Every structure is written in structure tokens, then in C-alpha cells.
Structure 1
Amino acid sequence: MKTNLLLKNLIDILFILMVPGIFGFLIILPFGMFNTTIGNIEVNGYEEVMNLPTFYWVAVIVGILTYGMMLFALWFLKKSARYFMDNNLLKEAVSLNLSKSGLFFILTAVGALGSYIAIWIASFDGAGVSLQYGDTIFIPLFLAIIGLFFKMISNALTNARLLKEENDLTI
């Protein structure tokens, strides 16, 4: 029971901490972007922002959409977490919300990978390919694993619920 409460509270805290990030995008894009680093390019003025390659803008837009998908994934996970407290995981709402959460985590992984690829293409200078081992690929892989895990758990809970209903009908 303590583990269930801890999990629910951590999901709630993560969701609450991520919601202001949407407002952060609205503030950073018009104001804060002029003195920050995007990818490997330092931006110090409005003229430099307007001269950024198109793929950097694609990466920024995909990043914002990915953040929104992550919020939707956490929202559905938060809705499922309500049922964790009473150990009633065989409700149809739990498996449905876990399935939706898994789908949005998978879409988040695809969006994050797309954003990384767009930044890589934008920084490509034509002189050669610079591939390096880094931790940026771990984030989309981890999100995809989490999404697929939630889809699998959703399927298992649906099968368990159907089996329980069938068992309750037999005498």
C-alpha cells in the first residue's frame, strides 16, 4: 500500500512540475531564445534567430509537440493511478488509460527522435558526417520501452478482467 501511494504521489508531482513547462515555451520562444544555445549554435540576437536553419525550427516545433504528448501520457497515467490506492486494477478504465498512456509515450519517443534528427540535419555542414556516442538516443529508447510496457500491461489487465468475468459467470 505504501508503494502504491508513493507511485501515485510521484506521478502527481511529475505532472504538476511539467505543466508549467508549457508556459515556459510561451515565454522562452519570444524572449529567452535570444540569449541561449540551440543545438550547437549560440543565439545572441533577433537577427541570428531569423537566420537559423529551417530544421532548427522544425526541431523546436516537434519538441513542443513532443512535450505536449508527454503531458497527455502523464495525464492518462495519473488517471490510472487513482485506482492504485484501492488495488482495484481490473477496472476497464485502468487498462484503457494505461493503453492511451503507452500510446502517447511511444509518440513522445518518436517525436523526441524526430527532434534529434532535425537538429542533426540542421547542424550537418556537408563536410562529413559526425556520429558520436551519446546519451541523446537513450531518452527516446527509454520512452518507447515505457510506452510498450504500458501497452503490454494494459493488454494483460484486459485479459485478466475478461478471465475474471468469465470465471464469475461459471458455477
Structure 2
Amino acid sequence: MTTIRLLKNLINILFWGMIVFSVLSFILFIMLLFFPESLPRIFQPFGMFFNGNFPWQLWIVQFSNILGFLLFIVSIYYLKKCINPLEEQRFYSDEVIVNLKKTGRLFIIITIVTTLLRIIGLFVFNDLTNNMMVGSKLGTWAMLSSIASAIGYVNFFLLIIGLFLLVFSTVFNNGKLLKEENDLTI
């Protein structure tokens, strides 16, 4: 039971920490957009994102990061909802099964969407640099290396965890069915 309490505390810290970070980031974004001169010097270079010289295509990677982060917050919320039934030793409840399945699917969606957006951003960035510098084209190996880095180990890890959570929810569902069957035979 101490493991479940530790897990609950860590998930709560992660969830609320991400919420606070999101709110602070949104406030910083608004300030950069409307009041860039009022920010401390350390944040003022980020104002270049909002001037007319910064191409909109480079926002693809930032958009994928923001989208992945927001979906990650939602998935941690569903994982957070699983902890109370587990703490009460209701392992085979529908709440645990459904929320584990939702979390696993969200992790897989995060992996697919952010990877695709990063790869699209990579090709757009490559085209932008080719237009700026004549004759500078990424070679095949450099392009493959860039695609591999766009996939990244974090996305690969999220994919594995997502699949694991889907398997875990299936195992809990099978356990629930066996428990119901066992209760009927007694």
C-alpha cells in the first residue's frame, strides 16, 4: 500500500506541477505577445517569435510540443483517477479499466501526432533553409538522422508505456470477468 500512496503523491505532484507550469507559460506567452518590453531581459529574446521576420512554418514544432504537453496533462488526469480505486483495492473496477485504457490511448496518440508534426516541421524547415541558402540540401543520411531525432526516445518511451497501459487494462478486464464468473459459481 505504501507503493500506491507514493505513486499517488508523485502523480499529484506531476499533475499539479504541469498545471502551474501551463498557467505560467500562458501568462508569459500573453506578455510576450502584447507587452514584450515589460518582461525581464532574459525573456525578451523570445519576442522574435512575434515579429514579422519569423516564418509561421517554424511554429509547427512548437505547436506539436504544446499539443503533446496538453494531451499529456489530460492523460495524467486519467491516470490520477485510477489511483483511488487501486488504493481501495478495487483493482477490477470499471473506473480503473476505462481510465487505464484512456491513458494508454492518449499516450499513443501523443506519440503519433507529435512525431508526425515534428517530421512535417522538419521537411518545412528543410525547405525554408533551401530557399534561404541556394544549394544547401540535406543529404539522405542527414534527413534520416533528423527523422529519427524527430521520433525521439521520449516518444518511443511514451508509445511503450501506452501499449503497456492498454495491456494492463485488458488484464484487469479479464480479471474482472474471471472474478464475476467465480462469484457466480459459488
For the criterion TM > 0.5, the same-fold answer is: yes
Partner of 2:100: 98
What residue number does 1:112 align with?
114
Structure with larger Rg: 2
- Provide the identity percentage: 29
Q: Which stretch shifts more, 153-162 or 80-89?
A: 80-89
The one of 56, 59, 63 aligned to 2:58: 56
Cα deviation for residue 136 of structure 1 reads 6.3
Which amino acid in the other structure matches residue 113 of structure 2? Answer: G
SS in 1 for 2:73: helix
Indicate the residue corresponding to 1:40 in structure 2.
Answer: none
Query: Given that residues 86 and 96 in structure 2 are in contact (C-alpha distance below 8 angstroms), is that contact kept between their aligned partners in structure 1?
Result: no
Higher helix share: 2
Per-residue CA deviation, residues 80-112 of structure 1 (Å, 9 max, x unaligned), is 011222222111110001001111111111233
Letter in 2 for 1:114: L
3-state SS of paired residue (2:88):
coil
TM-score scaled by structure 1?
A: 0.82
Structure 1 residues without counterparts, runs of 5 or longer:
37-42
Q: Is the 8 A contact 1:90 1:158 kept in 2?
A: yes
Distance 1:25 1:136, change over 3 A: farther
On the 8 A contact 2:15/2:77 being kept in 1, the answer is yes
Residue 135 of structure 1: how far off its partner (Å): 8.8
| Cross-structure match for 1:165 | 180
Secondary structure of the equivalent of 1:72?
A: helix
Unpaired runs of 5+ residues, structure 2, are 37-42, 131-135
Give the equivalent residue in structure 2 for 1:151.
Answer: 166
Task: Note the 1:69-148 alignment, pairs <5 A.
Answer: 69-124=71-126, 125-126=129-130, 127-129=136-138, 130=142, 131=145, 137-148=152-163
Aligned length: 163
Residues 161-170 or 19-28, more deviating: 19-28
